[in-house]
Structure 1
């Protein structure tokens, strides 16, 4: 309990500092894909298809230099992802340095976090990828047997160790009907929930691909999707503040499915950026790189 309270205080202090440090017209959020290596075979992802036995990725010293450049730019919130970043032997060193400078989230597919507590202890949040309450469906989506059990174990161990796990679900046609109950289940157990939508752009010529075309994942029932997002918005408003997706985002997604209306503007590069394992920077993985993280302050 003491460690959890200490972590909560630390996060609040960092949030206050982050708000003070915001720079108008500069990105405040960055996602760094520190490796393309992955130990899962997720059906909606192609990162694991592109991994090499000799990956081209920055070492810890280069990443630390890049983190300093991001801080100078005005970034206050950092997501460390991949691939699976916990496959890096130096991930503890990277997380420790990142957490000194940013509100830091580290992603894991659920396979390694339970055994990497020491490496993760400085992270503000640890996002665990989990897509269903049904083990067989989750394992099917992840492409690895036992994935559900390992993810749930990681969530429980992180909580026991005083860290803050966050369940990250990819919403697709396969789990659309259960996502409301899924969210209620984890929120009722004190675990925040966030989402991404399955998405594939066959015409993307961006920085890198993180999706592949899978018909069974594509959301075809737009009416049902609109209903689900309306229910999520109501659930968040009435009983589940631990759904960590703003109501305006849930509402905008509902309108997209309901009327085909996009009610938001893209803020890639103006609010957020992405960096790949080689240090190349883009506003979004769908967009071409604009330069290197080491020259980012010369770009803005």
Structure 2
């Protein structure tokens, strides 16, 4: 028996609603979870550095000011682990007057499993915009943001450590990721121009990394649950002198010197 016309339209509307709901659910997963392999157009962060092969970054997002967040697949030479790294450079990085200047680096670690994506690469969280705004106000130096995945898989939490018989995520984070950054960006040669920030589990990993690997970075800004305003200020708070709420620390870290102005060449 044929389905009555009104009933057919009702079913069509229901099917449309289901498809729309699936789209809303799957869009952020595909876009931010990077379910598909590196999508988007190839991109580069300024001119290539002499003596360093250029990493294959692809555009993950484009911000309102025209700067882009890039993503690459990093095959760690020291760890043997392969994972995703997102990166962003501030507008000043591309300006002619800073062409020979070194920029400080902030490695931002996510909370939760931090796999397969690092949620700090989402423009809607405002971390990149906070860096831009605070630099324009003179309250912070413009710095490069690096956002690696935190764990090898979404089922286990590795604490940013090398666990026997498991992927060496600790070595990947502490050695391979900084090596990639130094080969891609004009960075400081000393640890004074490097900093870590993290929320929740990422904050613990950052603090643990800072305490156990003395040459990794000059500062670490861990935080637990924060308000939207605190998240928006993100890593720039450490350079503007603001305070954050620290998470539990495995041991106390001594004070470290403040980063130098972003005027010295890294090469």
Higher relative contact order (CA 8 A, sep 6+): 1
> Which has more helix, going by share of residues?
1
Normalised by the length of structure 1, the TM-score is: 0.27
Normalised by the length of structure 2, the TM-score is: 0.30
